[in-house]
Amino acid sequence: MSFNTFGHLFRVTTFGESHGPAIGCVIDGCPPRIPLTEADIQPYLDRRRPGQSRYTTQRQEPDTVKILSGIFVDEASGTQVTTGTPIALIIDNLDQRSKDYSDIKDKYRPGHADFTYDAKYGLRDYRGGGRQSARETAMRVAAGAIARKVVPGMNVRAALVQMGPHHADRARWDWAEVERNPFFCPDAKTAALLGDYLDGLRKSGSSIGAVIEVVADGVPAGLGAPIYGKLDGDLAAALMSINAVKGVEIGAGFGSAELTGEENGDEMRMGNDGKPLFLSNNAGGILGGISTGQPVVARFAVKPTSSILNPRRTVDRYGRETEITTTGRHDPCVGIRAVPVGEAMVACVIADHYLRQRGQVGDNPAWPFSPPAR
């Protein structure tokens, strides 16, 4: 009845609350003999970590990850590798200021999950949102760092492509720029506008939504399964499971409603390497729930932060009408810190499907399969 686990063969279970002593996860099914140390995971956590710029929450958490199990030093090489047993990871919660939340403990924040947790469980940990808090997403990022190592040659990157009215211009897309500005925006010109825009929002006590695009390169053709195991279906579920995500699209997504069949269908030619070549990628690298070998492209919409300074009408758990303002720390745009989380979820789903495909075809050297010779 409790759904804190995702994946079939690469299986991730997370645990912990915002203001408990620690958060953690267990990754079961990771293949053995993959080199793994904390240093492989930490850089991804550092990208998601709060308090890194003035545009994200000032909660100060070093988010230092510790590997508790599932690793051993391989005698032959002297390298620390995965053993194939469950990998448990833990991050201590250090900056817990429960008092910030005490005056809202009985009130339901509009747009947050306070009401639904109470409706479902009859109680809730109001300190920082407890399990509803996106603090849990740190563990997804840690699991994603390991998932990336499972699929040889895979590179998963994400970028913030829209914040409020500001859209990244695709003609100026530069992946290097994503790491140069605090918004993970691929377009330097748009990124230059976002600082003042967010400062204005923060001063006015408000918040704003965003759209993130995730691109996975190096995904072999043939991952995913028809009908109930579609790669796009699993990606949508994984991305939708991220806190505050309200929309997911693959490839041309909702835009495909405006396209004709000629515009939308990705035409094919034979490439010089003897493999089919797609002339466009409206499919987002997935046809029939199965990867085409093109980049897998997914976008997700993140709603505006619901804990805002401006007063909002609400009710409390005793049925009284009241007002609420959130004075604790928050991100004016949680979409920024959702960028590494989106990457991690896509990496985990693709790693899971990669292992499932290997499980089904075995180590057949012909896979990824090519069309038969004429």
Closest distance of CB 210 from ligand FMN, Å: 10
Q: What distance in Å separates the CA atoms of residue 367 and residue 175, rounded to the nearest whole number?
A: 30
Regarding 306 and contact with ligand FMN (CB under 6 A), the answer is: yes
Shorter beta-carbon distance to ligand FMN: residue 211 or 290: 211
Shorter beta-carbon distance to ligand FMN: residue 295 or 304: 304
Closest distance of CB 113 from ligand FMN, Å: 4
Beta-sheet strands, E only, within the chain: 5-6, 11-16, 22-28, 65-67, 71-73, 80-82, 87-92, 155-163, 166-167, 210-217, 245-250, 268-270, 276-278, 286-287, 290-291, 296-302, 312-315, 321-324
Closest distance of CB 56 from ligand FMN, Å: 8
Regarding 307 and contact with ligand FMN (CB under 6 A), the answer is: yes
Among 341, 345, 348, 351, binds ligand FMN (CB under 6 A): 341
Q: What distance in Å separates the CA atoms of residue 67 and residue 291, rounded to the nearest whole number?
A: 32
Owner of token pair 């057949």: 364
Closest distance of CB 75 from ligand FMN, Å: 41
Map the footprint of ligand FMN across residues 86-125, applying CB under 6 A.
Answer: 112-113
Among 107, 124, 330, 353, binds ligand FMN (CB under 6 A): 330
Regarding 305 and contact with ligand FMN (CB under 6 A), the answer is: yes
φ, ψ for residue 210, nearest 5 deg: -160, 160
CB neighbours (10 Å) of residue 42? 17
Written as six digits, the tokens of 16 are 């912990």
Shorter beta-carbon distance to ligand FMN: residue 219 or 334: 334
Closest distance of CB 310 from ligand FMN, Å: 13
Regarding 338 and contact with ligand FMN (CB under 6 A), the answer is: yes
Q: Is the peptide bond before 368 cis (omega within 30 degrees of 0)?
A: yes
Closest distance of CB 344 from ligand FMN, Å: 11
Per-residue contact string for residues 214-253; x = within reach of ligand FMN by CB under 6 A? ----------------------------xxx---------
CB neighbours (10 Å) of residue 235? 25
Map the footprint of ligand FMN across residues 127-146, applying CB under 6 A.
Answer: 132-134, 137
What one-character DSSP code corresponds to residue 282? T
Q: Which residues contact 226 (CB under 8 A, 6 or more apart)?
A: 288, 289, 290
Closest to 57 in 3D by CA, of 325, 338, 345, 299: 338
Size of site (CB under 6 A) for ligand FMN: 20
Interacting residues with ligand FMN (CB under 6 A): 57, 112-113, 132-134, 137, 242-244, 303, 305-307, 330-331, 334, 337-338, 341
